[in-house]
Amino acid sequence: MADPAVRATPIEDIEKYLNTARLTFNSGRSKPIAWRKQQLRALYRLIDENRDKIVDALQKDFRKPTTEATVLMSGLNHIVYCLENLPNWMKPEYPKKGLSEFGADLSINHEPFGVCLIIAPWNYPFELVFKPLTSAIAAGNVAVLKPSEITVNAANVITELIPMYLDNEAFFVVNGGVPETTALLERKFDHITYTGSTAVGKIIMSHAAKHLTPVILELGGKSPVVIDPKLSSADVARVCRRLVATKFFNAGQTCVAPDYVLCPPHLMEPLTTAIRENVLKYFGEDASQSPDFARIVNTNHTRRIGGLIDRQKVTPGSVVITGGKWDEATRYVEPTVIAGVRGDGPLMEQEIFGPALPIVQCAGIDEAIEFIRDGPHARPLALYVFTKDKATADQVHGSAVSGSVVINDATFQYAADSAPFGGIGASGMGTLHGKYGFMAYTHHKTVLAKPLTWFADHTDDFIGRFPPYSQKSLNALEKVAERRLPSEKNMVSTLLSVAAAGLSYLAKRWRS
């Protein structure tokens, strides 16, 4: 049976939406804090008053457990956080002035970019529309939203609710697939946010480059889990409670989900035993009957994940710890863990984005760092280190570059509204959430204002700013404008040097 399709927005409507949004922005309507707060409160009501409708859409698209669906409402907390802090974020900054700015007022004003395009993925179809939109509104922008065409029910709800709650001349929803997305990207926006795969991120960036449009790319990658060899079997059992829960949340369809595990040989047995026990505890003997295990979003992704699992199962050295079955008709992939996976195995070819977890044997921390840093999946979106030793944690995340790092847990960094979230390298660029999201959707404009006064004129004359120039005026200008390198010596070493010089002088005087 074919997957359901979303009703596409007519291409001619896209131009109308964009023109209306630009007229609204140019009118200045979106800049006052009152409008921003009004729209943020309206977005909060949109989510809060339609919880059942949102949960129902997620259950239809994913057969998502009710608990998981309601956890995804963290967008409400993000809105509240932005409302509480917006007045301070909007205030101009007054940086320290140098002598060349003497007598002038110097400020940094935070101004909105204008008309933003937000292209959302299917794995969290509401949250990854609402969170970027919250930041865009807080910064004073207007926006065109492009929900994923894969999650049809979620897209329909977003299309219905946005015009019911938000400014109808500032926010628009465009539905469709590649033709509609291409039509959007061919037009000039002032900012583009895309969440999705690295491959499509490159396409987005190439289109944005034609208009020199700034972008935020929240991409993916294979987020590794590093197991410290110094952990005990009891520690590993505790690790697996958290690892299994975060890996199989949303059936593994999370951009920051643990993608593979690097485990030392002597901990392989306790690790695999604890993983098997926790999968059984969380989802039962048959996870297809569990109300707490979601489905894959469509048949194409089911076949992709199932194909990777099947190829890995027949690869020499592979040991299926649990799972391994899948069914295209019901979009079900069993929670699967396979040990004995090589770095070039099928499950290591790409981001899995599903309920399959490969375990790669790794001798120690140095080898794990080298594998992450120098391998084909370097600079992941997230890095997870399970250890009791702070020095080990610091060594791993200090040596292997990643978008974020979590010690002794996984995925929860995304929920931190006060901290930036974003990738690096192939896992993305730019950051979102809280103040960092506000700043990402903001142009930071320097404003320098000098007075037209007698004093200002004579200050310019004193430093020799105007022709005809002389050596005297050049010397004066250099004293004002040129900055000297700070001394590399600290105060203590300077005092010691002075004391040594003084003692040397006294010694010479005494000898003479």
d(CA 40, CA 85): 12
Closest C-alpha to 212, from 191, 198, 195: 191
Residue 274 sits at the vertex; the CA angle it makes with 273 and 280, to the nearest 5 degrees, is 95
Long-range Cβ contact pairs of 416-423 (< 8 A, separation 24 or more) = 417/77, 417/78, 417/81, 418/81, 421/218, 422/216, 422/218, 423/217, 423/218, 423/219, 423/220, 423/221, 423/379, 423/380, 423/381
Active site residue 263: no
- Given the residues 240, 255, 263, 362, select the one marked as catalytic: 255
- Rounded CA separation 243/238 (Å): 9
- Candidates 68, 127, 149, 218; catalytic one: 218
Give rounded-to-5 percent helix, strand, coil for the chain: 50, 15, 35
Running DSSP on this structure, what letter comes out for residue 421? B
Q: Name the residue with tokens 């029910």.
A: 153
Distances (CA, A) of 226 to 11, 125, 329, 422, 494: 48, 30, 35, 20, 45
Tokens 């949303």 sit on residue: 250
Neighbouring CB atoms inside 10 A of 507's CB total 10
8 Å CB contact between 5 and 149: yes
Concerning whether 255 is annotated as a catalytic residue, the answer is yes
Q: Are 78 and 414 in contact (CB under 8 A)?
A: no
Residue 411: helix, strand or coil by DSSP? coil
Q: Are 338 and 376 in contact (CB under 8 A)?
A: no
Element (H, E) at 455: helix 454-462
Do 106 and 448 form a contact (C-beta atoms < 8 A)?
yes
Half-sphere exposure of 200 (CA within 13 A, CB side): 17
**Stretch (H or E) spanning 109:** strand 105-112
Instruction: For strands 336-339 and 356-361, give the pairing.
Output: parallel
Strands 115-119 and 336-339: unpaired
Measured in degrees and rounded to the nearest 5, phi and psi for residue 300 equal -60, -45
Task: Tell me the C-alpha distance between 282 and 244, whole Å.
Answer: 9
Question: Which amino acid, one-letter code, is at 73?
Answer: M
Catalytic residue IDs: 218, 255
